[in-house]
Amino acid sequence: MSAAIAEFDVAIVGGGPAGQTAAIAIAEAGFRTVLFAPETPPDHRTTALLGGSVTLLEKLGLIDAVAECGATMHTMRLIDDTGRLIRAPEVNFRCQEIGRDVFGYNIHNRDLNRILQERSLGLANLTRVSARVEVSHVDEGSITVQTDEGERFSAQIAVAADGARSYLREAAGIQLKSWSYSQSALVLDVTHTRPHGGVSVEFHTKAGPFVLVPLPGNSSSIVLVEAPEIADNLHAMDDTTLAREIERRAHSILGKFTIASPRQIFPLSGFTADVMAQNRVALIGEAGHRFPPIGAQGLNLSFRDVGALTECLINARRKQGDLGGDTTLNAYIKARRIDITTRTAGVDIMDRALLADNLPAQALRSLGLFLADRITPLRHLMMREGLAPTIGTPHMMRAERG
């Protein structure tokens, strides 16, 4: 280890959307922050940023840039395409019903990361280091991390935003409860001959969700969840055959499709960390939780980690407390427990109910959607809780409404 150590309040490891957003929010709150953000491989996914995430981006002054690159989403349409004996009615969630102009914006992850990077480069309190963190060590009152280039940095708290295979989580001794799904998601963009009208469509099939999410113009991002071998077969198809197959699965609701991007496959898995903070390390984003892409919940949940952690750090500073001490970490753990547990369980139940072949599971799933369709207050409650849950949405992510 070299002798020189640069000192900060907060060290954030990982420059994905969760880490970069945390770095901006925490530096904006006045903490001396260092972000470790090595180059990332291409990501062809998009993210539907909804409700509370939109409020956070507004407060960070980023929403105009996101809106410019993304597509607005006004309606979410759920269609039961399981072809099973008991089928749910189609349910349409419309943002106007709950007094909103939009649910949110769907944006390519690469554009979101670029917008965040540009913003982070202009912040006086934020230092960006484009190296990986390889070593960390907890001392009395601080944590020291070392990059693969041998530079050392110390901070009161380190934030693990280094994704599902987080080094920092492991170094902090945090274990996972993990499980697998025999599903993979095929991701790509398409253009189509009919307009999407700001409607995101989620077909529920026997193999998992098949989602068409609006992009600017007559284009959409596709997330097609299938058994891994079928997803691999689709991935290997030539453009014309794949476009035809996607159109067939979409029942031509958007007309004729043309493939408009490279394809990527994501094997699906789930986990939650046993604890969201320990040993001067707080977990955010996929370092702390992961589940299948149903209802666009993953990064939106991660943004609530960001908001909650920022508020815990501000509270600790107000009380002149230790940013990485047990009081701060326990406040963060408490702030995130219910939201992460209920969101992970909710998505897991939705996904497994699709795959389950037994009648009681089909009946229950269909009943839930039937009630959402018929009982207006329940539908409104589901929309509001989907956008910004009552328990778990940090104050800074709550919309100020008259």
Ligand X SMILES: Cc1cc2nc3c(=O)[nH]c(=O)nc-3n(C[C@H](O)[C@H](O)[C@H](O)COP(=O)(O)OP(=O)(O)OC[C@H]3O[C@@H](n4cnc5c(N)ncnc54)[C@H](O)[C@@H]3O)c2cc1C
Binding residues vs ligand X (CB under 6 A): 13-19, 36, 38, 40, 45, 47-48, 132-133, 161-163, 167, 185, 187, 223, 266, 285-286, 293, 296-300, 302
Minimum gap (Å) between residue 259 Cβ and ligand X:
17
Q: Which is nearer to ligand X, 208 or 362 (CB)?
A: 208
Q: Which residues contact 392 (CB under 8 A, 6 or more apart)?
A: 304, 308, 335, 336, 338, 339, 340, 342, 343
CB of 301 to ligand X, least distance (A): 7
Give whichever of 107 and 366 is closer to ligand X, judged by the CB atom. 107
Written in H, E and C, the secondary structure of the chain is: CCCCEEECCEEEECCCHHHHHHHHHHHHCCCCEEEECCCCCCCCCEEEEECHHHHHHHHCCCHHHHHHHCEEECEEEEEECCCCCCCCCCEEEEHHHHCCCCCEEEEEHHHHHHHHHHHHHCCCCEEEECCCEEEEEEECCEEEEEECCCCEEEECEEEECCCCCCHHHHHCCCCEEEEEEEEEEEEEEEEECCCCCCEEEEEEECCEEEEEEEECCCEEEEEEEECHHHHHHHHHCCHHHHHHHHHHHCCCCCCCEEECCCCEEEEEEEEEECCCEECCEEECHHHCEECCCCCCCHHHHHHHHHHHHHHHHHHHHHCCCCCCCHHHHHHHHHHHHHHHHHHHHHHHHHHHHHHCCCHHHHHHHHHHHHHHHHCHHHHHHHHHHHHCCCCCCCHHHCCCCC
Q: Which is nearer to ligand X, 245 or 373 (CB)?
A: 245
CB of residue 126 vs ligand X: minimum separation in angstroms? Answer: 15
Residue closer to ligand X by CB (options 50, 396) is: 50
**Which distant-in-sequence residues (6+ apart) come within 8 Å of 369 by Cβ?**
78, 80, 88, 89, 91
Q: Which is nearer to ligand X, 18 or 316 (CB)?
A: 18
Give the shortest CB-45-to-ligand X separation in angstroms: 5
Q: How far is the CB of 347 from ligand X (least distance, A)?
A: 10
Pick 129 or 316: Cβ nearer ligand X: 129
CB of 304 to ligand X, least distance (A): 10
Quote the least distance from Cβ 295 to ligand X, whole Å.
8
Q: CA-CA distances (angstroms) from residue 10 to 60, 304, 336?
A: 18, 18, 19
Between residues 146 and 278, which has the closer beta carbon with respect to ligand X?
Answer: 146
Q: For residues 185 and 276, which CB has a smaller minimum distance to ligand X in the complex?
A: 185
Output 84 or 168, the one with its CB closest to ligand X.
Answer: 168
Nearest distance from residue 290's CB to ligand X, in Å? Answer: 7
- Nearest approach in angstroms of CB 109 to ligand X is 6
